[in-house]
């Protein structure tokens, strides 16, 4: 019999398990790897804690570093648990002015949100872009503009250029038989209907926020430049 069931070898020596059973160089590597994982885990927990905590000295001094760590993969959205959880569906639409051989025409509204939902539905590992890029971009725009679509700070111009770039990236995937010269976006906000047992009365008619027409510039086009020579698939 080569060894006993308790792990002792024939010569009476007890076999070591785990890291102790490795040679010394491998023990060092394993210890360093575990230490690194522990440090990263602690750093991540600290970053998330600072992100969700009230404003303090650390967040004021290192807010950008914390945001760069958290966004977009580890974003904490507490609307589900808030006293007034989000009770609306917001869809972003876009249409375009296209100039082609048959002259100028305006496309019908296309729901960018619906296109993202189709890409996610049934996908076990959906793209983070399809899940959050459009939503975050629209939130960025709304939070940096007033109700008249006037920027309320330095981030207004950046948010406008960002949402325009997102729209043009999506439009460039379609062939509209001409050159897109202008685009217009709008949001359709629809309240979620209350459950059958509720006596609450809520209008489920969509409310639109329509942005002004924007002239397409080279900065709005995809990096490859094959942008807006975009047969109408709708």
Q: What is the pLDDT of residues 172-231, one digit of tens each?
A: 888 888 999 999 999 999 998 888 888 888 888 999 999 999 999 988 887 654 434 433
Rg of the chain taking only CA atoms, in angstroms: 27
Look at residue 223 in the predicted model and tell me its pLDDT.
66
The CA distance from 180 to 215, in Å, is 9
Q: Please, what is the angle between helix 155-171 and helix 134-143, to 10°? A: 150
For the record, the structure tokens of 184 come out as: 């217009």
The CA distance from 184 to 192, in Å, is 26
* Residue 229 φ then ψ, to 5°: -80, 70
- pLDDT more than 90, % of the chain: 41
What is the SS3 assignment for 89? strand
Confidence of residue 16 (pLDDT cuts 50, 70, 90): low
Mean pLDDT value across residues 134-139: 92
Q: What is the pLDDT of residues 20-44, one digit of tens each?
A: 777 888 888 888 999 999 999 999 9
The CA distance from 234 to 232, in Å, is 6
Q: What is the pLDDT of residues 217-234, one digit of tens each?
A: 988 887 654 434 433 443
Low-confidence winner among 8-17, 105-114, 132-141 (lowest mean pLDDT): 8-17
Confidence of residue 83 (pLDDT cuts 50, 70, 90): low
């Amino acid at each position: 019999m080569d060894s006993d069931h308790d792990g002792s070898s024939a010569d009476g020596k007890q076999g070591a398990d785990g890291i102790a059973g490795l040679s010394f160089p491998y023990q060092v590597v394993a210890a360093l790897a575990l230490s690194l994982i522990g440090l990263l885990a602690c750093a991540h927990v600290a970053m998330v804690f600072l992100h969700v905590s009230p404003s303090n000295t650390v967040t004021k001094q290192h807010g950008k570093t914390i945001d760069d760590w958290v966004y977009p993969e580890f974003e904490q959205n507490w609307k589900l648990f808030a006293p007034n959880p989000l009770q609306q569906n917001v869809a972003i639409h876009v249409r375009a002015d296209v100039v082609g051989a048959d002259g100028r025409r305006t496309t019908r509204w296309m729901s960018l949100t619906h296109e993202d939902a189709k890409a996610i539905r049934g996908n076990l590992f959906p793209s983070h872009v399809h899940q959050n890029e459009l939503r975050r971009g629209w939130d960025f725009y709304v939070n940096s503009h007033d109700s008249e679509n006037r920027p309320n700070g330095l981030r207004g111009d950046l948010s406008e250029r960002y949402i325009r770039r997102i729209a043009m990236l999506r439009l460039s995937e379609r062939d509209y038989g001409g050159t897109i010269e202008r685009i217009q976006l709008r949001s359709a906000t629809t309240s979620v209907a209350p459950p059958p047992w509720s006596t609450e009365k809520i209008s489920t008619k969509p409310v639109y926020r329509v942005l002004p027409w924007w002239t397409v510039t080279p900065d709005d086009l995809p990096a490859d430049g094959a942008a807006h020579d975009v047969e109408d698939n709708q």
